[in-house]
Structure 1
Amino acid sequence: MNLPSAPPAASTGPATYTALAPGPDFRHELVIKRSRFITVLRRVGDEPSARALLGSLRKEFYDARHHCSAFVLGPDRSAQRSNDDGEPSGTAGTPMLDALLKRETRPGTRPAADLSDVCAVVVRYFGGVLLGAGGLVRAYSESVSSALELAPMVRRERLGLFTVAVPHADAGRLENELRAAGYVMTGNSYGAAETLVGLAMADDDAVIAAAVARLASLTAGRAVLTGVGTDWVDAPL
């Protein structure tokens, strides 16, 4: 078989973003002028999941005066919502959302504001001292920002999924060569005459083109890299 003249095209949209690490909700509390601000962060994949967090915290902290919320969803952060829950308009939900959107991570040396798939709820117990509009904005922003500084984070990476069809006798050697070169191996499937060797790599045109060239070298131009989709995986920051 001949290799394609061009590598399979990468998907559009961001290929990486930052998210909370999998696990239980992250909680952090601040006391500002006797008011308690309890921030709860949860990794969420859709709006119903974000609203479920808010609902559960309304039940848990049923006697609190405010349950303000903000969330951002999707690799491109296309879904963004916030709610002041009775605080003066724009003093709670908006600064909370701004804190989520402006939170920077530094994978290497380039800071990136790319946090997504996260819902923040700030539960406020009023302490008897009025903070004023400016004070509320600062308090809700600081509550979320300080929680984000402490919460565990991961990189979400979109990987392209591929298969390579080779004779059964060649599958083991090719799999070992690709693994040694740093590719993620996703398992093999077996037909009557061929083995489909599965692998994954960054969903990036240059990376895919390099894989095509490496396969040409390893198989004397006989193997074809076939795209079968994409998937998101967690990687350390």
Structure 2
Amino acid sequence: MYKTILKDGKAEIEIKKSIFIGHAFFVKSEEEALEILDRIKEEHRSATHNCHAYIIGEDGLTQRYSDDGEPSGTAGIPMLEVLKKEEMRNVLVIVTRYFGGTKLGAGGLVRAYTEGVVRALDEAKRCERKNFTRTKIIYDYTFHGAIVNLLANENYKIIEENYTDKVEVTIDIGEDKSILDKIMDITSANFEKEDLEEIELPTIDGKIIY
């Protein structure tokens, strides 16, 4: 399990006529982060600066940042510090600046780039990615109504349904395996379980976001 973002986020702020555009991206590799960085730099090639920071890997060992021409320590490091403080993983943030003619000073730059990242993360929505087992449950038609009601009450989404001589439903099961005990109670242990694959899914407040 690790903290990250649900989707791409973008936010714009104006400070003393300078425009700061914050971008946040979910990335799984440094290569992916650099490809996105190149794309944003190309999209905003007329910008004064495109500063960035990223933390990649569940262990957070890959950390990089760049001031991209801003005074040393006023952009990249504050941006990285936001990610570290929020324990973010697999996140790339970029703040694009279009200079408005008024210098902000070191403190002003730190605040601007920090706010650019925070706003972008707000738009991207913070979440936790957790490991789940995609599992097929096989049982007799007799139990179908009760099992469907159980899954609905327990907030399990049915990923797939198949109807042959028996009913097959596919759901995602996390660390909490109690749903299997409840299915066992309904069926008097007369059901089959097949683990299909291990997957990583985003969650907010414990609920899977599909």
Scaled by the length of structure 2, what TM-score is found?
A: 0.75
Q: Residue 78 and residue 198 in structure 1: after superposition, are their counterparts in 2 closer, same or farther (change >3 A)? A: farther
Name the Cα RMSD after superposition.
3.1
Report matched runs for 1:32-71 at 5 Å: 32=16, 34-71=17-54
User: Aligned letter for 1:88?
Assistant: P
Corresponding residue to 2:136 among 139, 158, 163: 163
Q: CA deviation at 1:220?
A: 1.0
1:228 deviation in Å? 2.8
**Residue in 1 aligned with 2:208?**
none
Report the alpha carbon displacement of residue 28 of structure 1 after superposing the two structures with TM: 1.1
Q: Which residue of 1 aligns with 2:67?
A: 84
Distance in 2, Cα, partners of 1:85 & 1:49: 19
How far 1:181 moved relative to its partner? 3.5
How far is 1:140 from its partner?
1.6
Q: Given the superposition, is the C-alpha separation of residues 39 and 178 from structure 1 closer, same or farther in structure 2, using an over 3 Å criterion? A: same
The worse-fitting range, judged by mean Cα deviation, of 133-142 and 61-70 is: 133-142
TM-score (normalizing by structure 1): 0.68
* Aligned residue-pair number: 203
What's the secondary structure of 1:232's corresponding residue? strand
Query: What is the aligned partner in structure 2 of residue 119 from structure 1?
Result: 92
- Where does residue 30 of structure 1 map in the other structure? 14
Distance 1:17 1:189, change over 3 A: farther
Please give the per-residue CA displacement for 1:55-112, whole angstroms capped at 9, x wherever unaligned. 222222222232111123455545432212122333211111112333xxxxxxxxxx
Tell me, which stretches of 5 or more residues in structure 2 are unaligned?
A: 206-210
Change (3 A) 1:27 1:139: closer
- TM superposition outliers: structure 1 runs of 4+ over 6 Å: none
Q: What code does the residue aligned with 1:87 have? A: E
Superposed CA offset, 1:7-63 (max 9, x none): xxxxxxx1x6341436xx51312224x433222233434333322332222222222
Q: Secondary structure at the match of 1:140?
A: helix
Q: Give the aligned residue type for 1:85.
A: D
Letter of the structure 2 residue corresponding to residue 86 of structure 1: G
Deviation of the 1:236 alpha carbon: 5.3
Q: Is the 8 A contact 2:144 2:167 kept in 1?
A: no
Q: 2:200 maps to which residue?
A: 232
Find the residue that maps to 2:73 and give its secondary structure.
coil
Alignment check: 8 A CA contact 2:50 2:95 kept: yes
SS in 2 for 1:184: coil
Shift of 1:130: 4.1
Larger deviation, residues 130-139 vs 48-57: 130-139
Q: Is contact 1:154-1:235 (8 Å) kept?
A: no
Paired residues of 1:27 and 1:41 also in contact (CA < 8 A): no
Q: Which residue in 1 is equivalent to 2:5?
A: 19
Tell me how far apart the structure 1 counterparts of residues 149 and 18 of structure 2 sit (CA, whole Å): 60
What are the ranges of 5 or more consecutive residues in structure 1 without an aligned counterpart?
A: 1-13, 103-112
Q: Percent identity?
A: 30
Q: CA deviation at 1:152?
A: 4.6
Secondary structure class of the residue paired with 1:85: coil
Q: Deviations over 1:140-192 (max 9, x none)?
A: 2122224434x15153453332122334x44634642442342222223567x
Deviation at 1:129, TM superposition (A): 4.2
